[in-house]
Amino acid sequence: AQLPVQSELEHNASHDLLTGLPNRLFFERQLEQALAHAQASGDYHYAVLFLDLDGFKLVNDSLGHASGDDLLVQIAETLRANLAGHCLVARYGGDEFTLLPHGACPRGRAEQLAQRVLALLAGSFEVRGHRVFSGASLGVVLGRAEYRSPDQLLRDADTAMYRAKAGAKSAYVLFDHAMHAAARARLKLETDLRFALQRGELRIFHTPIVDLRNGRVQGFEALARWQHPQRGLLLPDDFLNVADETGMLVGMDWWVLEQVCENLLRWQRRMPAHARLRASVNVDDRQFADPNLVEHLRSVLLKTGVDPSTLALEITETVFRRGSDEAAQTLHGLKQLGVSLVVDDFGTGYSSLDSFAASPFDALKIDRSFIRDMVTNFRHRAIVRTIAAFAEDMRLDLIAEGVETAEQAGLLRDLGCTMAQGFLYAPALPQAEFEALLESGFAQQSNSSPSAVA
Ligand code: C2E
Ligand code: CA
Ligand code: CA
């Protein structure tokens, strides 16, 4: 027979000290057995439910860790008291619990269980004199022949749980093939992106910025594109998030900036008519928060020899929302390098006009959403008119983006806007096509309004 102390040690290794529930290790061992049993019998009717509390962090942060512990113990007790006869209930870690139903568990039963769990946790708990609500998000995975290890199941359960959290909270989501495919595609994109820079798949496209009064190209905005070997030309929306999450975004932005500076200088030198050509580069919020931003930009300017007054950085209003002195300092540091600062997507960030008046910006770029329907939408036209008046008083340049029709261009000119970009003039162009456009000096208007091109 086992010595009492030995069985106690074994119990401690397989159970969570706080709640007394089986722990992650124990759960994974049981799941491994269930998997082996399914493989042997060819009956894949098992399931895993992965539960994450919605309100735990709030309780922990506001009432303290001891209260957080209390809540976990009560939730563990609730789950055990109501479900222990039907499934293995484990504390997987932190505020995560996992369930492995005993016996066959086809889809219907798994969903019933999920609903039961949500109902059990929907009410309030009494924690040290406070009524707290937690609620939970659940990911549910059903057994399949492809699953070889507990890791794979738990990863998919976790994916489904995050879907549940992202949607309406206190819900469950069943992991399905589409999610599996999406997760795999996403992983592939991440690996591909790691090689994209090395393989030279990243491209810069150019959107001409024209003078509304005479149609002349004044400069361009640089936009990143990824020439993916299988998927074709990808837009920033397709890969900027992945780049961010893999920590590659800032490096990518520096690459863009350097390339743009090199091209800009070459064009300025080669084409006398464009000796003062201007380039505009997007600076992501995360790049803006980089403490080395100013120093790094200084070195790029030195290295490429570009005249800083012909380079503009586009920064969104959201940098103000942090309301920090750091943001103001960075802006002044950039300004001292001699570059222009443009507020991108102006009008969408809800920051106070006062913060702009006090900041060293040179230009505002009115967001596309106001331009799109300004001809028919009175409110948006009024906003554009107000922004134009504000810019004039503050002596800021004004650029309209997303101009698609000659009517919009005419209206903007009447409102005092001097510069514009958009499909009316040209889509974002690869290098060679943009060079050809520069040589001609004018952006071709697609629904040609001769007065603006002449
Ligand atoms: P953004 O800075 O507001 O860029 C303008 C977007 O509007 C571009 O989309 C451009 O192709 C599109 N556009 C231009 N003219 C028109 C038009 O007349 N009509 C319509 N419907 N759209 C027009 P894109 O290239 O997909 O870029 C999306 C966003 O990705 C950009 O928004 C910018 O925030 C970001 N981005 C692009 N390149 C870079 C980059 O190199 N670095 C960073 N950090 N962000 C970038
Ligand atoms: Ca921009
Ligand atoms: Ca914009």
Residue 345 pLDDT greater than 70, yes or no: yes
What pLDDT does residue 49 have? 98
Whether this model's pTM surpasses 0.75? no
pLDDT at res. 452: 41
CA atoms within 13 A on the CB side of 290: 19
Ligand 2 centroid vs 229 CA: distance in angstroms? 26
- Which tens digits make up the pLDDT trace of 204-242? 999 999 999 988 999 999 999 999 999 999 999 999 988
Substitution site in 210, 223, 364 for ligand 1 pocket (most atoms within 8 Å of beta carbon): 223
Place of tokens 């962090």: 57
Query: Does residue 447 register a pLDDT over 50?
Result: no
Q: How confident is the model at residue 94 (pLDDT cuts 50, 70, 90)?
A: very high
CA of 428 from ligand 1 middle (Å) equals: 9
- CA separation, residue 187 to residues 151, 162, 343 (Å): 16, 16, 34
Least confident of 46-50, 200-204, 259-263, 443-447: 443-447
Contacts of residue 139, defined as CB under 8 A and 6 or more positions apart, other chains included, come to: 49, 50, 156, 157, 158, 159, 160, 161, 162, 163, 164, 172, 173, 175
Nearest atom in ligand 1 to the alpha carbon of residue 367 is 3
Q: Which atom of ligand 1 is nearest to the CA of 253?
A: 42
pLDDT category of residue 444 using cuts at 50, 70 and 90 = low
Q: Residues of the chain with pLDDT > 90: what percent?
A: 75
Pocket of ligand 1 (CB under 6 A): 207, 223-224, 235-237, 253, 256, 282, 284, 314, 344-345, 368, 401-404, 422-423, 428
Strands (E), 382-429: 397-400, 419-420
> Which of 27-31, 156-160, 242-246 shows the lowest mean pLDDT across its residues?
242-246
Q: What is the mean pLDDT of residues 404-429?
A: 95
User: In sequence order, what DSSP letters do the residues of 70-120 get, joined into one string?
Assistant: HHHHHHHHHHHHHHTTTEEEEEEETTEEEEEESS---HHHHHHHHHHHHHH
Q: Quote the pLDDT of residue 321.
A: 66
Cβ neighbourhood burial of 143 (10 Å; 0-12, 13-18, 19+): buried
Q: What is the pLDDT of residue 140?
A: 97
Predicted confidence band of residue 450 (pLDDT cuts 50, 70, 90): very low
Residue whose Cα lies nearest atom 10 of ligand 1: it is: 428
Q: What is the mean pLDDT of residues 427-450?
A: 77
If one compares 322 and 319, the residue with the highest pLDDT of the two is: 319
More confident residue, 364 or 451: 364
